[in-house]
Amino acid sequence: MSTYYDQVQEAVRAINAVDRPTVGVVLGSGLSAFVEQIDEPRVIPYRNIPNFPVSNVEGHKGDLVLGKIGAARIVVMSGRVHYYEGHAMSAVTFPIRVLAGLGIKTLLVTNAAGAVNEAFAPGDFMIITDHLNLVADNPLRGANDERFGVRFPDFTEAYAKTARDKLREAGQFARASVREGVYAFLPGPCYETPAEVRMLRTLGADAVGMSTVPEVIAARHMGITVAGLSVITNSAAGISKTTLSHDEVKEVAGRVQKPLRMMLARAVQSLA
Ligand code: HPA
């Protein structure tokens, strides 16, 4: 019987990356314009990669794109699967295991998030300094495969300071409004209640979303350096009078594509 590790290796072999990428990028909901920046792109639909999980959420594409930005060799996930779709944590993190197999040393992960911090505004970017895993599950639960990493990995600096510094510089370069803060991961798929948002604020969260943390856990398990960036698409529930919708999230995400792609292009070159 093939193990999870074997399935990852099978996907890595199928992708057959001749030039090994050094940086991986995960593009969140409605944040895929960055792929247009990639030189010499090689696009592989997820469905053509063995064992790769495929999303069915509207607005979430599913392509792996290998290529270059300047001298940096990168591999980009345009679209990801989410825990709320019903996937197991092992499926949500499978692509990250594959990116590591392709050779990445650094992962830049992006997402759309709601602002818990009342000083943040829609359209701001937030460099993730740390996270709260508020989902009672963990991708490392179960037997540990030492070929990936240790049983009890350290998470003191999940989001590397060096990577945060590079993101900050890239944000200045793109003249973006860049904040910093803690990302709280909730399972979704419903948006939070105002009471939950107050709870999150009490817990020390600055932004909330339904992704990223599983991928970061898997990446850190394998010793990959992580940089995380949230696009603040809305104030979290109860902060403004308006109700929340996926359309609003997509609309705001669409509006910041220009500074975002500029910031990401700059960041991947310094992270490489
Ligand atoms: N809550 C959770 N996830 C989100 C939000 C939010 O307000 N906005 C974008 N993703």
- In this structure, the residue with its CA closest to atom 6 of ligand 1 is 114
Residues 115, 121: contact at Cβ < 8 Å? Answer: yes
Q: How far is the first Cα of the chain from the last one, in angstroms, to the nearest whole number?
A: 37
Q: Is 223 left (phi over 0), alpha (psi -120 to 50) or beta?
A: left
Q: Domain 4-271 falls in which CATH fold?
A: Rossmann fold (3.40.50)
**Long-range contacts of 164-171, Cβ-Cβ distance < 8 Å, separation of 24 or more:** 164/127, 164/129, 164/227, 166/227, 166/267, 166/270, 166/271, 167/127, 167/227, 167/229, 167/263, 167/267, 168/127, 169/266, 169/270, 170/263, 170/264, 170/266, 170/267, 170/270, 171/125, 171/127, 171/263
What integer is the mean pLDDT of 163-170? 97
Catalytic residue chosen out of the listed positions 11, 89, 210, 263: 210
pLDDT score of 29:
75
* Pocket flag, ligand 1, residue 17 (CB < 6 Å): no
Q: Is 246 a catalytic residue?
A: yes
pLDDT score of 61:
66
Q: Is 112 a catalytic residue?
A: yes
Residues 263, 170: contact at Cβ < 8 Å? Answer: yes
pLDDT digits over 97-147, tens only?
Answer: 999 999 999 999 999 999 999 999 999 999 999 999 999 999 999 999 999
Residue 155 amino acid letter? F
* Pocket flag, ligand 1, residue 244 (CB < 6 Å): yes
What integer is the mean pLDDT of 153-176? 97
What integer is the mean pLDDT of 141-168? 97
Residues 134, 209: contact at Cβ < 8 Å? Answer: no
Ligand 1 centroid, distance to 126 Cα (angstroms): 13
Distance CA 39, CA 73 (A): 9
Binned at pLDDT 50, 70 and 90, residue 152 comes out as very high
Ligand 1 centroid, distance to 114 Cα (angstroms): 4
Domain ranges for the chain: 4-271
Pocket probe mutation, ligand 1, options 186, 210, 230, max atoms within 8 Å of Cβ: 210
pLDDT score of 17:
79
User: Torsions phi, psi of 113, nearest 5?
Assistant: -145, 160
Ligand 1 centroid, distance to 87 Cα (angstroms): 19
- In this structure, the residue with its CA closest to atom 10 of ligand 1 is 113
Which of 79, 65, 67, 68 lies closest to 30, judged by CA?
Answer: 79
pLDDT score of 60:
54
pLDDT digits over 81-106, tens only?
Answer: 999 999 999 999 999 999 999 999 99
On the 0-12 / 13-18 / 19+ scale of CB atoms within 10 A, 142 is exposed
pLDDT score of 116:
97
Q: Is 82 a catalytic residue?
A: yes
Catalytic residue chosen out of the listed positions 33, 55, 84, 199: 84
Residues 6+ apart with CB under 8 A from 239: 115, 118, 197
- The conformation of residue 93, written as its DSSP 8-state character, comes to T
- In this structure, the residue with its CA closest to atom 3 of ligand 1 is 209
* Pocket flag, ligand 1, residue 208 (CB < 6 Å): yes
* Pocket flag, ligand 1, residue 112 (CB < 6 Å): yes
pLDDT score of 81:
93
